[in-house]
Amino acid sequence: MPRATVPLLVAFAALSLASPAQDAPKPAAPADAGAAELTAAKQAYEAEVAKATEALLAEFAAEDKRIKENAKLKIDDKIKRSELLAEEKAAFEADGKLPKTLGLKVATSDYVTKLTAARSRCGKAFDAAAEAAGKTDLPLAKSLLAEKAEFLAATRSAAAKPAAPVNPAARPAPSPLIGSWERSVNSTAVTIQKHVTPTHYMVFQYDTTGRVYMAHGGRYALKGDALTESVEYGFGPYYDKHAGTSLTTKSTLVGKKWYLAWAEGDRPIQATWEPIEPKPPAGK
């Protein structure tokens, strides 16, 4: 196999990598900055929701203490109020249902105010990301708006639930695509390598001298056998033509071979990738 240990290749591997066409990277695309901003906004929203939820849960405990220590209440009234409070707390933790207990009116109002403000900030971040994506990729913009609704709803309800212990066996298995792959074209005169991480891919092409002349990469998503790869950075003809777009292919693993199939117009195309076997670094 041609020598691939050039400084440029090392730089590309650090980016995180993969894709079905035969090309390569350029300066970091604006999409990366937008993705980072959206990720930060989501993390900030989750933190704000968690903090507001923790404060309201603390008020449940404080109210229960006030009920038990209220000397003006008869014991049967204390029991009824404490049990009702426990029911409201359980409903809040299960699905985010707000309590109606009078003693929690101020705390509940404060919780709603904070959640509304946090939701607005995060929603605006999603809208900005969708607006930017819509200039070149309407399907991506649509998926961002769908993710917005799902994320805001899921985060709000999940925050009220007590954390459950993590079961290692329940964690999703790592993607079988993660790793380094290659294929040869033109009677091995050209070699194409594809590197896949849990979140990104990178593809680059080099000749028998080890010179890289095309590369591209970005984020990817695998749902069933549908692999969608975004072209976010790179250089060369393929990147120049497809920068800012995404391509969905049919992904199939058979034994150690990885097959990608798609169509360009009426022309069906298939790329066959094989894993790069580990070997010691080339010496001087």
Tell me the pLDDT band of 248, cut-offs 50, 70 and 90: very high
Only one residue has tokens 């009078």, namely: 102
Report all structural domains of the chain as residue ranges with CATH numbers, in order of start. 7-28+175-275 (2.40.128.280), 31-168 (no CATH)
pLDDT digits (tens, 9 = 90+) for 60-91: 999 999 999 998 888 988 898 899 999 999 88
Size (the chain), residues: 284
Q: Beta 179-185 vs 233-235: how paired, if at all?
A: unpaired
pLDDT digits (tens, 9 = 90+) for 100-136: 888 899 999 999 999 899 889 998 988 998 888 888 8
Residues 117 and 119: their CA atoms lie apart, in Å, by 5
pLDDT digits (tens, 9 = 90+) for 145-198: 888 888 887 765 544 555 455 565 555 667 789 999 998 776 667 889 999 999
Is residue 179 left, alpha or beta, with left meaning phi > 0 and alpha meaning psi from -120 to 50? left
Position 234 pLDDT exceeds 60:
yes
Residues 114 and 218: their CA atoms lie apart, in Å, by 35
pLDDT, residue 94, reads: 83
pTM here? 0.45
pLDDT, residue 20, reads: 46
pLDDT, residue 261, reads: 92
Which DSSP symbol is given to 22? Answer: S
Tokens at residue 8, please?
A: 């440029």
